[in-house]
Amino acid sequence: MGSSRAYSPDQPKPLGGHAVLALAYNGSVAAFAVKQRRSGRGLPDRLPPGDLLLLSVGTYKLSRLIAKDRITSFVRAPFTRFKGESDRPGEVLEEPRGAGVRRAVGELLVCPYCLAQWVGTGFLAAYLRDPRLARTVAAAFTIVAGSDLLQETWVAVDKRA
């Protein structure tokens, strides 16, 4: 892609792959919006703060699980290269590999911040269709995030003792 070389001559960037991912994301959001409108279901005026917090923490944890967890490395493996163990328990360090769409997917899959947009949108879509189900799934990931926090707190306290 000519514009990619002009944009970043020393470090090739998969701009075409990023465009494909942006199209997939935005196309999915648009398709959901059309389906939501056709279903006759309205949108809430606002989400209750407790639901926002639950979905936010669930999004945080699921995004990290996809991007960093040792056990989910099989999902990332076609798009990433293992670099080593992380200093965080149960997490690994990886880098994207390949070119084009493959590299763009790898960049997405190793970035919990990038994945949060996709995961959060998925949680919100689920919430709009079936709030109880979305709360239940988000609660599971929120419970795990809380457990992680307690585990890391215990390790920090235990190191001082």
Q: What is the pLDDT of residue 42?
A: 85
- Average of per-residue pLDDT across 100-127: 97
Whether the predicted pLDDT of 29 surpasses 90: yes
| Burial zone of 16 (CB within 10 Å; 0-12 exposed, 13-18 middle, 19+ buried) | middle
The domain limits of the chain are 2-160
CA–CA distance, 19 with 79 (Å, rounded to integer): 17
Q: What is the pLDDT of residue 63?
A: 98
pLDDT level of residue 22 (50, 70, 90 thresholds): very high
CA–CA distance, 88 with 68 (Å, rounded to integer): 9
pLDDT level of residue 89 (50, 70, 90 thresholds): confident
Q: What is the pLDDT of residue 106?
A: 97
CA–CA distance, 120 with 158 (Å, rounded to integer): 34
- Average of per-residue pLDDT across 45-62: 97
Q: What is the pLDDT of residue 1?
A: 45
